[in-house]
């Protein structure tokens, strides 16, 4: 459909249809240091968006801005059209959040926790869904044990289930594969891909190039609080291979190091000129 027809049909709600997650000029300072500096991103329905960057790049801070856990120093974040800071209840109704470290109440069993969540969301067919999820991650035999007895990986699996059980339109995931064994990591990758295929919106952060390459439709490369580049893997490949030829391979790893290297050179140029 031509773009103008799309606009005529959906113009009124275009903003919401266009981006389920909209980060606009988001900056977060801690004292004098900007952990995230003027980041803008849009994530569309049906998309897995990867926020990729080394440790300390500002990924978790960006996610905390998206989930209303930290107040932007400036800029806005909207989820499903709602300003996360100004309309937190509406925004929070639209997303599930999987933090980088599981925060679960240890004095419940897994089954109790999941029933509690199902009750909060008034989910139909909750019991069969809960059993299906426990089975999927191999937790059935442990489902009546207290969560405080769980290993890190088991807690991580339970956190994933807790966020996905209510089937929110948007899923925000911080370093999903960390702490999972290879089999569970593969399952998690497939879960996120399948979730987007259902028309849901998925944003994940990762410091792992293979993870971004395997699941993300679009990628933003974040370094020291700045977005260095954004696009599909193919677009990033094109961008970095046009700028300098003669470098072998087109893996995300090469692209990533190239972008970081360009950024370094630019920083040096600015320094030299000063
Ligand atoms: N609450 C905080 N107070 C001070 N500095 C912080 C705080 N949270 C994060 N930072 C700093 O912000 C930068 C980005 O951190 P973070 O967003 O956790 O990066 P990432 O998730 O990409 O590893 C780091 O330099 C970190 O030390
Ligand atoms: Mg982090």
Structural domain spans, the chain: 20-94+171-274, 99-167
pLDDT for the residue numbered 256: 78
Q: Is the pLDDT of residue 253 over 90?
A: no
Provide CB contacts within 8 A for 125, sequence distance 6+.
Answer: none
**pLDDT-based confidence at residue 119 (cuts at 50, 70, 90):** very high
Q: How far is the CA of 226 from the centre of ligand 1 (A)?
A: 13
Sign of CA dihedral 231, 235, 241, 247: positive
* Strand partners for 42: 22
Q: Is 60 in the pocket of ligand 1 (CB under 6 A)?
A: yes
What residue's CA is closest to ligand 1, atom 6? Answer: 30
Q: Is the pLDDT of residue 237 over 60?
A: yes
Q: Is 52 in the pocket of ligand 1 (CB under 6 A)?
A: no
Over the chain, what is the mean pLDDT? 88
Q: What is the percentage of the chain residues whose pLDDT exceeds 70?
A: 90
Q: How far is the CA of 33 from the centre of ligand 1 (A)?
A: 10
**Beta carbons of 171 and 202 less than 8 angstroms apart:** yes
Average pLDDT over residues 251-273: 80
Q: Is the pLDDT of residue 244 over 70?
A: no
Q: Among all chains, which residue has been given the structure tokens 């599981």?
A: 102
Provide CB contacts within 8 A for 66, sequence distance 6+.
Answer: 21, 23, 77, 79, 84, 95, 172, 203
Q: From CA 59, how far away is CA 51, in angstroms rounded?
A: 7
pLDDT tens digit sequence for 184-199: 999 999 999 999 999 9
**Beta carbons of 55 and 208 less than 8 angstroms apart:** no
Q: Is 245 in the pocket of ligand 1 (CB under 6 A)?
A: no
What residue's CA is closest to ligand 1, atom 1? Answer: 30
Average pLDDT over residues 211-233: 92
Q: From CA 179, how far away is CA 192, in angstroms rounded?
A: 17
Domain 20-94+171-274: which topology?
Answer: Rossmann fold (3.40.50)
Query: Hey, how many other C-beta atoms are within 10 angstroms of the C-beta on 240?
Result: 20
């Amino acid at each position: 459909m031509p773009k103008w027809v799309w606009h005529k049909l959906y113009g009124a709600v275009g903003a919401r249809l266009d981006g389920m997650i909209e980060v606009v000029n988001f900056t977060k300072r801690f004292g004098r240091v900007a952990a995230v500096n003027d980041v803008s991103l849009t994530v569309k329905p049906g998309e897995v968006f990867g926020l990729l960057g080394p440790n300390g790049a500002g990924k978790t801070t960006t996610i905390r801005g998206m989930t209303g856990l930290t107040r932007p120093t400036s800029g806005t974040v909207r989820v499903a059209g709602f300003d996360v800071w100004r309309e937190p209840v509406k925004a929070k109704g639209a997303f599930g959040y999987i933090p980088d470290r599981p925060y679960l109440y240890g004095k419940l069993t897994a089954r109790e926790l999941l029933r509690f969540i199902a009750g909060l969301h008034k989910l139909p067919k909750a019991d069969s869904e809960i059993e299906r999820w426990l089975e999927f991650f191999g937790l059935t035999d442990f489902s009546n044990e207290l969560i405080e007895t769980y290993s890190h990986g088991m807690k991580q699996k339970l956190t994933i289930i807790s966020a996905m059980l209510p089937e929110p339109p948007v899923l925000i995931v911080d370093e999903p594969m960390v702490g999972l064994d290879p089999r569970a990591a593969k399952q998690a990758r497939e879960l996120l891909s399948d979730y987007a295929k259902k028309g849901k919106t998925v944003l994940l952060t990762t410091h792992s190039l293979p993870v971004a390459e395997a699941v993300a439709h679009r990628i933003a490369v974040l370094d020291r609080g700045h977005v260095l580049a954004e696009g599909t893997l193919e677009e990033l490949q094109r961008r970095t291979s046009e700028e300098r030829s003669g470098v072998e391979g087109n893996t995300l790893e090469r692209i990533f190091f190239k972008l970081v290297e360009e950024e370094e050179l630019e920083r040096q140029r600015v320094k030299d000129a000063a």
